[in-house]
């Protein structure tokens, strides 16, 4: 019989900076370590407080990761489009010539929702540097997906393959350069492994983003991670989170998924 896999967290010192560590959630099978879906590049010293910024590329898995963060308790916007977990106001701000002033006002209102909030836009890296200094206590969640898979999804929407592939690759390198240039908490989520191991991914994100989270909430969140789901018809992170909060307020124990 094959031995059952078990999970372990392994800390690897970075060769160029012995004070910086990467925590990789792994599955151990036959004494071989198989990387899990999440890697912590820089620890988050303030889980449960700050601004979650989900970075990635279009059709690259940012919607489901933003949904996970929201379901775990990070309010991902003032006016969330439930089909992609993007705040429609944040999206328009990034594309405005007056984005700095608008972002300042937006972030002030966003943080009135609570101590842990966030925003997601798969094209945010194009303008992030201009508004980043305004973001209180950033928590960077970087989502990576195979560039060809992302490009194929965009081609289905009518984009030209080589053009969108180059844009996707350019944004990936831009995200890498940006994340390396700042000193804020960073976790990397691999989309393909997340789909294979949703519970492991949700547990890692919960520890990094919110700190302590009830096991039942983690399990409920993991059940919402489904490949090719049509949001919000198949999966609605916003509605499910609202049901969870209502249940906690009422003190009930019925299912909210």
Nearest to 213 by CA among 241, 237, 189, 171: 241
Length of the chain as a residue count? 257
Q: Which residues pair with 14 in a beta bridge?
A: 17
Nearest to 231 by CA among 111, 79, 100, 62: 62
pLDDT of 18 reads 39
The more confident residue out of 171 and 11 is 171
The encoded tokens of residue 100 equal: 């700095």
- State pLDDT tens for residues 78-88: 999 999 999 99
The encoded tokens of residue 99 equal: 């984005």
Find all residues with CB under 8 Å of 22, minimum gap 6, and list them: 11, 12, 14, 39, 40, 41
Give the mean model confidence (pLDDT) for residues 218-224: 97
For the chain, what is the mean pLDDT? 88
Nearest to 60 by CA among 138, 121, 131: 121
Element (H, E) at 134: none
Nearest to 116 by CA among 65, 66, 68, 50: 50
pTM score, two decimals? Answer: 0.85
Superfamily of structural domain 47-250: P-loop containing nucleotide triphosphate hydrolases (3.40.50.300)
pLDDT of 66 reads 98
- State pLDDT tens for residues 5-59: 444 454 444 445 534 445 555 555 555 677 899 999 999 999 999 999 999 999 8
Give the mean model confidence (pLDDT) for residues 115-126: 95
Our CA angle for 123, 163, 98, nearest 5°, is 30
* Cα(140)–Cα(227) distance, integer angstroms: 23
């Amino acid at each position: 019989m094959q031995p059952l896999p078990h999970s372990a967290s392994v800390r690897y010192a970075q060769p160029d900076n012995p004070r910086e560590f990467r925590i990789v959630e792994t599955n151990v099978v036959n004494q071989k370590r198989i990387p899990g879906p999440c890697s912590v590049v820089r620890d988050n010293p303030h889980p449960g407080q700050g601004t979650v910024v989900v970075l990635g590329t279009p059709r690259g898995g940012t919607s489901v990761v933003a949904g996970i963060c929201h379901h775990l308790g990070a309010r991902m916007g003032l006016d969330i489009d439930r089909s992609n977990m993007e705040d429609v106001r944040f999206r328009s701000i990034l594309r405005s010539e007056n984005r700095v002033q608008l972002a300042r006002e937006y972030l002030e209102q966003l943080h009135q929702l609570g101590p842990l909030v966030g925003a997601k836009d798969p094209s945010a890296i194009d303008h992030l540097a201009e508004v980043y200094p305004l973001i209180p206590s950033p928590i960077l969640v970087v989502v990576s997906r195979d560039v060809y898979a992302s490009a194929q999804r965009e081609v289905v929407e009518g984009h030209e393959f080589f053009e969108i592939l180059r844009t996707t690759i350019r944004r990936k390198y831009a995200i890498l350069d940006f994340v390396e240039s700042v000193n804020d908490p960073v976790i990397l989520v691999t989309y393909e492994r997340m789909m294979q191991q949703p519970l492991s991914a949700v547990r890692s994100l919960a520890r990094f983003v919110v700190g302590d989270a009830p096991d039942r909430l983690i399990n409920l969140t993991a059940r919402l991670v489904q490949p090719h789901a049509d949001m919000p018809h198949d999966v609605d992170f916003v509605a499910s989170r609202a049901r969870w909060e209502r249940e906690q307020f009422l003190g009930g124990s019925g299912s909210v998924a």
